[in-house]
Amino acid sequence: MKSYFRYLVFALTLSVSLTAGAASKFTANIKMLNGHEYSAVEFTTPKAWDKEVTVKIDGEKLKISGDSIDHIVFWPTKYPDNKQIICWHTYGSLDTENGEYKPNLGHNSKKGELSRQWFALQNVGEYVNLWSCFSEVKLVKDQVNLSTTLSSPYFFQKQDGRFVHVPFSLFKSGKTRKWLSEFFSDDEVLVELLSDKSQLYDKSSGFRHGSLYTPYQYEDIVKLYVADRKKQ
């Protein structure tokens, strides 16, 4: 899993030697589960639950199933330094009563299939990553804008690979702190920090990610978390 994390960091800083046609807003490198890679192709960004992505290769459109994709690195064609990583992944929640992971079945519950959607990588840590789901992708000047209709679009991914939703309510923010303490309970040092209400929480910087209110410092938690760490 650590090698995967390192690859994600590398992919974000990847230099691009090829460019797509000017007609395309976005260009992408698409890494397939079978090891094949589509490099520097014209790319149409997916919406939250689109099961396929559309690319254009040599002027021909090609639809690629999300189930066959490992991850996608894409960027605004005119601004290749502004890269984003997205992936099509299953997700779920943590039952704080028994500590068990509960996969989301959603509308697939009758079929017994796990729900999937697109996620964008936000922060990378040695032991945990932070991802965000999104409803659609827009290009605002030179920046990639990921819009969402959720008050909490964030998901943590530990080394088991599972995407676990981070609950947040504007009127019950204490529940999020309790949830974080449960989810990171194997790190005694971080749990102690989380028990201090003045730590890892800042209302004044709650809108640092635009209009989405995020008072908890998830990006700092990603850096601080160490799996199975004990207090000295």
60/150 same-domain check: yes
Query: Quick one: 98 and 54 in the same domain?
Result: yes
Give Cβ neighbours of residue 196 (< 8 Å, ≥ 6 apart).
none
CA 187, CA 157: separation in Å to the nearest integer? 15
Judged by DSSP in three states, 151 sits in coil
**How far, in Å, CA of 138 to CA of 175, rounded?**
32
129/227 same-domain check: no
Task: Report helix, strand and coil shares of the chain as percent, to nearest 5.
Answer: 20, 35, 45
Domain count, the chain: 2
165 pairs with which residues across the strands?
A: 155
CA angle 5, 7, 13 (to 5 degrees): 115
Q: Is 220 helix (H, G, I), strand (E, B) or coil?
A: helix
In this structure, are 192 and 229 located in the same domain?
A: yes
Residues 229 and 128 in one domain: no
Same domain, 189 and 227: yes
Does one domain contain both 146 and 192? no
Final residue before a domain boundary, out of 148, 166, 184 = 166
Same domain, 222 and 107: no
Residues 65 and 120 in one domain: yes
**Same domain for 44 and 13?**
yes
Boundary of a domain, candidates 150, 166, 182: 166
Q: Are residues 138 and 202 in the same domain?
A: no
Return the amino acid letter for 194.
L
- Among residues 139, 166, 193, the one where a domain terminates is 166
d(CA 190, CA 194): 6
The SS3 of residue 34 is: coil
Matching residue, tokens 């099961």:
51
Write down the pLDDT at residue 36. Answer: 98
Nearby residues of 16 by Cβ (< 8 Å), 6 or more positions away: 27, 40, 75, 80
**8 A C-beta contact, residue 114 and residue 104:** yes
Domain carrying residue 135: 2-166
Overall pTM surpassing 0.85 (yes/no) = yes
- DSSP element (H, E) containing 130: strand 129-133
Mean pLDDT of successive 10-residue stretches along the chain, which has 232 residues:
50 38 77 98 96 95 98 96 97 89 78 90 98 94 90 96 94 91 97 96 90 94 98 90
Residues 89 and 231: their CA atoms lie apart, in Å, by 34
Instruction: Specify the pLDDT at position 38.
Output: 98
pLDDT at 105: 87
Neighbours of 145 (CB within 10 A): 12
Pair 162, 174 in one domain:
no
